Chain A
């Protein structure tokens, strides 16, 4: 029973990582109908930036905030420079560009920082009072940070003018232009936000799985499973999917398949969702008028 509880709680902690990346994927998918395969590598790359800043002697939280800023700007630039010109191109072109970005970020990180594992600090000391048998201090802190960010994002979408504009643009870009929304900039800001949210996952994951250029591969796969499960068109669904997948992964690893082939749980979920309910639990079925 105790082990079960431990598995569930630590599943929620890693689920928070999947939830963040899944949210980033869903935000971009909802607005542009593109799946950003490079989301994970972008997060990995910015985690290296955070590492560099910490190495340079900056305090953890200052490095954290600066990295999110850099990540936001990178997201905006990628949208404006790389994604904008291919917006209306065939799906295959877009996929190839995103996969290309994935490999570019991966190899540039390897080229600059090397492929050896690097330790990454946690801001939550392991002897902290809130550490327990069931959950390490970092896991608990990770959940707190993730929930905090998700709440902020929710408040942003629900209550701010720009958040409403982002939802409007995702639903109906033509009408959005007609009410004077500068759709191009709104999309770019959405990319920036998604990029920063992904970076949080990278920074939170690094103390557990160590920093290396391939660190986000598994997380991205699980995030895909989470986003598909919740529905790529539903950011809230994607977040919920993230936590569900995190717990499922841990329980399956502990009691069913063992940790060796845990990653295939994600693939089973992806295939299962696509077969049974392609729009996910909370997603909308897109109906196209031809």
Chain B
């Protein structure tokens, strides 16, 4: 297996405050890696560092073999990294359809874009019903779906997902994770999933990394990590 995303010795932080210390992490081509950790461990910071957004970072980040660290956020996106950000990043005053159009902003293939509208609506039928509605009026779950759909419109090779379960009802979380599994299976899209909800993340992922106060303390097969008694105690609560 080759890695689509490789992170080596990543330090990152905001202003003077260092959040990440020498993080190593890899996401395999067509794989799903889960990054678990408590509040404030640095999970969101790590995703931001990959996209060079709002953080100061040093270290090596490779996407599909090429160095991307230090490049502007928009150029990293154009290489094929779709980021579903913390807080969902909805364009609140635009319609659902306009949000999705912006997702396809870098593409010129009209037919391909039209086909992708059909494709994301088949994953998220509720967005089709609400396509003319202002995105800010959607429920939290629908906005999360919209954020994922917007990223899919870029046809990325790697999807970064920042706590897609955050603040959502369990039934909605299950629906979203079922769809993520389908996208990974049908399209072979690689994913790096940041979660506090370790149970559901470990069920989806094939690899998992445990982040504690800015350092990776454990990494490996998701099933093994899910079976580790100390992990179960600290992160799964039983």
- Which of A76-84, A171-179, A239-247, A265-273 binds B? A171-179
Q: Mark B152-172, 1 if CB is under 8 A from A, else 0.
A: 011000000000000000000
Neighbour of A180 across the interface among B53, B78, B90, B101, CB < 8 A: B78
Q: Decide if B53 touches A168 in the complex (CB within 8 Å).
A: no
Q: Decide if B89 touches A174 in the complex (CB within 8 Å).
A: yes
Q: In the complex, which of the residues A161, A164, A172, A179 has the most CB atoms of chain B within 10 Å of its own CB atom?
A: A179
Chain B's nearest CB lies how many Å from the CB of A184? 9
Q: Decide if B91 touches A172 in the complex (CB within 8 Å).
A: yes
B147, closest chain A residue (CB): A175
- Which of B23-31, B92-100, B120-128, B178-186 binds A? B92-100
A158, closest chain B residue (CB): B98
Answer yes or no: B225 CB below 8 A from chain A CBs. no
Q: Decide if A182 touches B94 in the complex (CB within 8 Å).
A: no
Chain B's nearest CB lies how many Å from the CB of A58? 37
Which chain A residues lie closer than 8 Å to B82 at the CB level?
Answer: 178
Answer yes or no: A165 CB below 8 A from chain B CBs. yes
Q: A164-B102, A172-B89 are in contact. Are A179 and B150 (CB under 8 A)?
A: yes
Q: Decide if B102 touches A168 in the complex (CB within 8 Å).
A: yes
Tell me how many residues of A have a C-beta within 8 Å of chain B. 18
Answer yes or no: A183 CB below 8 A from chain B CBs. yes
Q: Decide if A183 touches B74 in the complex (CB within 8 Å).
A: yes
Q: Decide if B94 touches A171 in the complex (CB within 8 Å).
A: yes
Tell me how many residues of B have a C-beta within 8 Å of chain A. 28
Answer yes or no: A95 CB below 8 A from chain B CBs. no
Which chain A residues lie closer than 8 Å to B89 at the CB level?
Answer: 172, 174-175, 178
B136, closest chain A residue (CB): A171
Answer yes or no: A118 CB below 8 A from chain B CBs. no
- Give bound CA distance, A176 to B73, whole Å: 10
- Give bound CA distance, A79 to B52, whole Å: 23
B48, closest chain A residue (CB): A174
Q: Decide if B54 touches A179 in the complex (CB within 8 Å).
A: no
- Give bound CA distance, A175 to B98, whole Å: 13
Chain A's nearest CB lies how many Å from the CB of B231? 31
Q: Mark B79-112, 1 if CB is under 8 A from A, else 0.
A: 0001101000111111000100111011000000
Q: Decide if B54 touches A174 in the complex (CB within 8 Å).
A: yes
Answer yes or no: A102 CB below 8 A from chain B CBs. no
Neighbour of A165 across the interface among B51, B105, B151, B154, CB < 8 A: B105
Q: Decide if A176 touches B102 in the complex (CB within 8 Å).
A: yes
Answer yes or no: B77 CB below 8 A from chain A CBs. yes
Which chain B residues lie closer than 8 Å to A171 at the CB level?
Answer: 91-94
A263-285 interface (Cβ within 8 A of B): 284
Q: A164-B101, A168-B102 are in contact. Are A177 and B92 (CB under 8 A)?
A: no
Residues of B within 8 A of A (CB): 51, 53-54, 72-75, 77-78, 82-83, 85, 89-94, 98, 101-103, 105-106, 150-151, 153-154
| 28 A-B residue pairs with CB within 8 Å | A161-B105, A164-B101, A165-B105, A167-B91, A167-B93, A168-B94, A168-B98, A168-B102, A171-B92, A172-B89, A172-B92, A174-B54, A174-B85, A175-B90, A176-B74, A177-B53, A177-B74, A178-B73, A178-B83, A179-B102, A179-B106, A179-B153, A179-B154, A180-B75, A180-B78, A180-B106, A180-B154, A183-B74
